[in-house]
Amino acid sequence: MTSSFSTSPIALSFPVPNLVFEGCDPQRWNGGSIVKSQFWNSMSSLLPNIEFCAIRSLMPMMQHINDSKLRSEVRLFCDQENAHGTLHSHFNREHLHTNYPLLKSIEAWERHCFSWMSKFLPQRLFLSLFVAVEHWTAAFSQHGLCTPDAWFAESDRTMFQLWEWHAVEELAHKSVCYDVYRYFKGGYVTQVMGMLLLLLFIMLPGICVRLVYLFSKDKVWWHLGTYRELAAYLLGRQGVLRKTFKDFLRFFNPRFRPWDINSLPLIEAYLTQRNVVQDTQQVLHKVRSNCI
């Protein structure tokens, strides 16, 4: 038996859906709600830059990974993030940039920031940024797939398919960056710094600036109802931040490993429902105990 740094219990191979966004109303695709739609539109605008940046950072590292399972997972991880970035960029170009042109400039500015960070941040700290991103996206994906009716009730079918597929792949590859980080001897302190960097300089400002712009453009910025709905959507009983907060905190436990949260049933349910049953057995396979 060969040991591997990889902790993935699943093969990273899923069909990419063929999605056509024609006819989608960017302002109200999520249950007719501007607030819910624009929250996820902000994410759609923010994520591709991060995904493409992760690919650009991980690809050159591949040649230094002398672990065939982990190396092949890095390649598949990059394929998946590339597919996410491409489909979201497609939606962004078609529906967001045309209606909300400032998003294009915000994205361009962020691209400059990411390329600056990739040049000047120490490699391990930069890598820890993606460990943190993957932790966030996995937490969102886990709860989004558990409670789709709470987060995406009566949403546009194509948009739901986009986020559902994205969530499933995020769960499937959630440990890859973490495993690479461990392979390159990344430590706990840098890992925490990566999360703080991500939150304070990327996620929070990235989402807030976009929401301010999108709400002003939709002329709901001054409505008290907007903030009531946003607070309920994020912090209510099934709220996006409330549901994910506990998982978010687990990142700070030095013993935490991404697969401590079991996501296999959610992935299995998706594959079965999508009639990819014939692939399920190939996709779901247990990692040998000495690989963990």
Taking the least distance from each CB to Fe ion, the nearer of 84 and 210 is 84
Taking the least distance from each CB to Fe ion, the nearer of 33 and 173 is 173
Taking the least distance from each CB to Fe ion, the nearer of 84 and 182 is 84
Candidates 46-54, 95-103, 266-274, 275-283 — which segment interacts with Fe ion by CB under 5 A?
46-54
Measured CA to CA, the distance from residue 32 to residue 187 in angstroms comes to 45
Number of CB atoms found within 10 A of residue 39's CB: 22
Taking the least distance from each CB to Fe ion, the nearer of 27 and 44 is 44
Q: From the DSSP assignment, how many helices (H) and strands (E) are in the chain?
A: 14, 0
Q: How far is the CB of 135 from Fe ion (least distance, A)?
A: 10
Buried b (16+ CB within 10 A) or exposed e, 86-113: ebbbebbeebbbeebeebeebbeebeee
Q: How far is the CB of 266 from Fe ion (least distance, A)?
A: 15
Determine contact, residues 226/220, Cβ cutoff 8 Å. Answer: yes
Site string for Fe ion, 170-189 (x = CB under 5 A): x-------------------
Total of chain residues touching Fe ion, rule CB under 5 A: 4
Among left, alpha and beta (phi > 0; psi -120 to 50; other), residue 161 is: alpha
Name residue 284's beta-bridge partners: 10
Q: How far is the CB of 84 from Fe ion (least distance, A)?
A: 4
Name the 3-class secondary structure at 13: coil
Determine contact, residues 180/74, Cβ cutoff 8 Å. Answer: yes
Q: How far is the CB of 215 from Fe ion (least distance, A)?
A: 25
Residue nearest to Fe ion (CB): 84
Name residue 155's beta-bridge partners: 30
For helices 123-146 and 34-62, the axis angle rounded to 10 degrees is: 140
Taken as a whole, the chain contains a residue count of 292
Q: How far is the CB of 70 from Fe ion (least distance, A)?
A: 16
Site string for Fe ion, 184-223 (x = CB under 5 A): ----------------------------------------
For the segment 58-97, give every residue that binds Fe ion (CB under 5 A): 81, 84
Taking the least distance from each CB to Fe ion, the nearer of 162 and 220 is 162
135 lies in the binding site for Fe ion (CB under 5 A)? no
Q: Which residues bind Fe ion (CB under 5 A)?
A: 51, 81, 84, 170
